[in-house]
Structure 1
């Protein structure tokens, strides 16, 4: 809910299946409900909310994968190419379970469950 639905056409244009939470769930749904929905339906969560990484770590969860943006300008115009590039670069990790962090200077992947597993940087 914290990213614009304008991301959906950009992701679909890049050949990715995408839905916005507002089309399947309540705007005030707790994060764990979104996690469970993504896990049950094989989705990757794309968010600006850092709480999802904390929930994955606290629950030692192996899925769903989460892509989190860590920058102030989270518009598709600003980050669209970088996000699509990150998705393609880390496809294998996302399929197995990963937390991908995207900011304007670097990409980082952490394999799930989050323990003391080394990071993959780009």
Structure 2
């Protein structure tokens, strides 16, 4: 699985994820540091990445566009240091890899992990 790490997370995530067997890249290695989230999402979708972020905008983009891809893993914790929450994120990605391959939003916080399949249902 390929994981694209958003600018709001440390590039140190690359090493941790690569050591865990994932093919990961930090956005700073691929695009402009000030790129809008929509550009990062488009790049991830075209290139088959799952986005790892601390930013709620990515889930809002998926909801607004009824997007099926890319999958997003969002961390909801005060401390997003990979030394603190990294293994919890890796465990969630491994446990929900099929759902991520098919289109999902995973939210990881220190107490629990939540999964929502994509696209989000349309509200009437």
Name the residue aligned to 1:108: 114
Distance 1:114 1:32 in 2: 17
Structure 2 equivalent of residue 120 of structure 1: none
CA distance in 1, matches of 2:21, 2:77: 24
1:96 corresponds to which residue?
A: 102
> Among 40, 58, 62, which residue is 1:56 paired with?
62
Instruction: Tell me by how many angstroms 1:40 deviates.
Output: 0.3
Report the aligned-residue RMSD. 0.7
Q: By how many angstroms is 1:115 displaced? A: 1.3
Deviations 1:3-26 (A, max 9, x none): 000000000000000000000000
Q: Residue 41 of structure 1 corresponds to which residue in structure 2?
A: 47
Q: How many pairs were matched up?
A: 116
Q: Distance in 2 between matches of 1:26 and 1:115?
A: 32
Aligned to 1:84: 90
Per the alignment, residue 73 of structure 1 pairs with 79
> What TM-score results when the alignment is normalised by the length of structure 1?
0.94
**Helix, strand or coil at the partner of 2:107:** strand
Q: Is there any run of 5+ residues in structure 1 with no aligned partner, and where?
A: 117-122
Structure 1 residue runs of 4+, over 6 Å off?
Answer: none
| Aligned residue number for residue 27 of structure 1 | 33
| Separation in 1, partners of 2:82, 2:33 | 21
State the partner residue of 2:3: none
Shift of 1:29: 0.2
